[in-house]
Amino acid sequence: MKLKSIFISLVFFLLFVSCNKENNSQKKKMEGFVISENTKTFSIFAIHLGKAFNGELPVYKKAFEMTNIKLKGIASKNQTHEELAFNLMVSSGELPDIIAYEFPLELEKLGASGKMIPLESLIDLYAPNIKKFWDENPNYKKDAVAADGHIYMIPNYNDCDNINTTQGYYIRKDWLRKLELQEPKTVEELYNILIAFRDEDPNENGKKDEIPIFVRGNTTRVILSSLVDIFKAHFTWYDKDGNGPVFGPSEEEYKNAIKQLSKWYKEGLIDKEIFTRNIMGRDYILSNNLGGFTCDWFSSTGDYNKKLKEIIPDFEFSTILPLEYNGKNKTSFARENYLGGWGISSGAKDPVAIIKYFDFWYSEEGRRLWNFGIEGEDYVLFEGKPYFTDKILKNREGKTSLEIIRETGAQYRLGMFQDATNERQWAESSAVKAIDLYRNSNVIEKPMPILKYTKEEMEELSRISKQLNKITEEMAQIWILGVSDIDREWEEYLYHLDIAGLEKAKQIQKQAYKRFIEK
């Protein structure tokens, strides 16, 4: 009986300790960030870089511990094509509570048709962190306001004040040394170097297999944008001299760029498989000591000196500034204010809780969680600033730091603010130096703002753009590959652009630009 009494007392004691521990844990959880006393689960559509959203990743589990809000992705793990999956979801008529998407104009189109709710009143009442962020950064707020004056989505912002470019030019400096050539400053000097790369066997294998210019891209548009930038032309709409939108592929600079690229291709200076290699072509070309010059992302291209130094003696693939051409020395590869965003569908169960959850990610702790991952595992605080741990920076499995960061759920494109300090930590030091070289040399062309359109404008511009893109992509390839002649066909090409609706598209762009500037 005595033993039984002791046993019962022990059970009650353990229960008391357990409950007290749970209460303390709950009390800690309730302080500061908790949104709901009871767990609330919201459905979300999101696919980033081919991966469907997973609410069980550490970052979102930690956010749940802090807020009591859980997100459940509706996209299947087998759904890797974001645009196709988005269109299927919209056509089904069954929208989740939250929608995140790479193309915010599509979210605004849903908003204009009543399928996404306006957020401005919710933000005023329940999102002090977002309000503060916009008060301090009015230009970022402009990016969130649709053409009808409503806010349907919170953009996924880039820290453009600190990293305002995306990609730049790289050349084999070890090849330059072998051939006793100087780093090029102009396109004419580059041309002579490319001829030397083609003819003088800088990879020293006795074969004429060097590829002077190669470009990595997952779409024709990406490839062409990199190529025409060499000659200071554009393959998309751009703000010409601050006077508003111009369609790059209809300009004389573009005609000249394609003409020069066709000449270079014919002379064997451009990769013969420029339009058919897959996205991994850069790895193959550099690993086999074949490529001499490219335009690509700083954050990933800078890795090759470390990756290949043991395989290719003296390998050095390093940054050079944009080449001067016709008195111009800038590149169009500026980082835009944002990429993608997220909003709340009209069928959401609890918009107030969701907007509070969005706001959590703009708190100091929320921003740090999304940018750096889990404290103590992925980063540590030193003098109030986060620093990545060796888990992120010194991976032994051959993964890049960014790959490891994203495995935690951090930096998954939703609707947060990407802090430049995280990229400056994980990017190779050569990449950071390259970014700063471009920033400090004033060679980055100011980008045209991401414009906003009415529902009618969006529908018409979308229809016209499909035709314009089809014509420009097909003809650019035909001309560069030498199948036909751009001088002979230029006027007919412009006629086809007009038939496709270029003049109407120009009117829409000018109206949208005027609205944005006057906001």
DSSP-derived letter for residue 374 is S
Q: How far is CA 270 from the centre of its chain?
A: 27
Q: How confident is the model at residue 15 (pLDDT cuts 50, 70, 90)?
A: very low
Mapping DSSP to helix (H, G, I), strand (E, B) and coil, where does residue 290 land? coil
* H, E, C per residue of 383-419: CCEEEECHHHHCCCCCCCHHHHHHHCCCCCCCCCEEC
pLDDT > 80? residue 25? no
- In contact, 107 and 153? CB cutoff 8 Å: yes
Q: What is the spatial distance between Cα 161 and Cα 485, in angstroms, rounded to a whole number? A: 43
Distance CA 396, CA 393 (A): 10
Which contacts of 488-495 are long-range, i.e. CB under 8 A and separated by 24 or more positions?
490/255, 494/250
The mean pLDDT value for 415-422 works out to: 93
Enumerate helices (H) and strands (E) in the chain, giving the number of each.
23, 16
Q: What is the mean pLDDT of residues 8-27?
A: 40
Average pLDDT over residues 97-101: 98
Long-range contacts (CB closer than 8 Å, 24 or more residues apart) made by 427-430: 427/298, 427/299, 427/302, 427/401, 428/299, 428/302, 428/303, 428/305, 428/306, 430/302, 430/305, 430/318, 430/319
CB 314 within 8 A of CB 125: no
Largest CA distance in the chain: 107
**At residue 505, what is the residue type?**
A
Mean pLDDT of 277-286: 91
5-27 average pLDDT score: 40
d(CA 231, CA 295): 12
Of 62-66, 105-109, 206-210, the poorest mean pLDDT is in 105-109
Q: 173 or 421: whose pLDDT is higher?
A: 173
For the cut 70, the answer to whether the pLDDT of residue 258 exceeds it is yes
Name the token pair of 510.
Answer: 């000018």
- Give the model's confidence band at 8: pLDDT under 50 very low, under 70 low, under 90 confident, else very high: very low
Tally of CB atoms within 10 A around 8: 10
Contact 231, 262 (CB under 8 A): no
pLDDT computed for residue 309 by the predictor? 87
How confident is the model at residue 428, as a pLDDT?
73
Query: How far apart, in Å, are the Cα atoms of 25 and each of 29, 132, 391, 448?
Result: 6, 30, 28, 49
Of 49, 75, 71, 51, nearest in space to 60 by CA: 71
* Mean pLDDT, residues 50-76 taken together: 97
pLDDT in tens, 393-411: 988 787 888 889 999 999 9
The residue-averaged pLDDT of 482-491 equals 96
Q: Are strands 154-158 and 417-418 parallel, antiparallel or unpaired?
A: parallel
Average pLDDT in the 496-502 region? 98
- State the Cα–Cα distance between residues 169 and 318, nearest whole angstrom: 8
The whole-number pLDDT of residue 423 equals 85
pLDDT on residue 85: 95
Range 318-342 burial, b when 16+ CB lie within 10 A, else e: bbbbbbbbeeebbbbbbbbbbbbbb
Residue 76: HSE in the Cβ half-sphere, 13 Å Cα cutoff: 7
- Over residues 153-194, the pLDDT tens digits come to 999 999 988 888 889 999 999 999 999 999 999 999 999 999
Query: How high is the pLDDT of residue 204?
Result: 96
Mean pLDDT (whole number) for 470-493: 97
Q: How confident is the model at residue 62 (pLDDT cuts 50, 70, 90)?
A: very high
Helices (H), 288-350: 298-301, 304-308
Closest to 158 (Cα-Cα) out of 374, 444, 411: 411
pLDDT at 16: 41
> What is the DSSP secondary-structure string of 135-163?
HH-HHHHHHHB-TTS-B--EEEEE-TTT-
Is there a contact between 157 and 411 (Cβ–Cβ < 8 Å)? no
Of 59, 71, 66, 61, nearest to 35 (Cα)?
66
Asked whether the CA dihedral 516, 334, 214, 188 is positive or negative, the reply is: positive
Binning pLDDT at 50, 70 and 90, where does residue 13 land? very low
Query: What is residue 32's predicted lDDT score, i.e. its pLDDT?
Result: 65
Average pLDDT over residues 334-351: 95
Cα distances (angstroms) measured from residue 389 to each of 54, 63, 150, 373, 408:
24, 20, 41, 10, 13
Rounded Cα distance between 203 and 190, Å, is 18
- Does 138 have pLDDT greater than 50? yes
Higher-confidence residue of 264 and 2: namely 264
Query: Using CA atoms, how far apart are residues 371 and 363, in angstroms rounded to an integer?
Result: 12
Burial 120-153 (b: 16+ CB within 10 A, else e): eebbeebbebbbebbeeeeebbbbbbbbeebbbb
Domains of the chain: 40-157+336-418 (3.40.190.10), 167-333+447-518 (3.40.190.10)
Mean pLDDT throughout 2-15? 38
Residues contacting residue 307 through CB under 8 Å, at least 6 positions apart: none
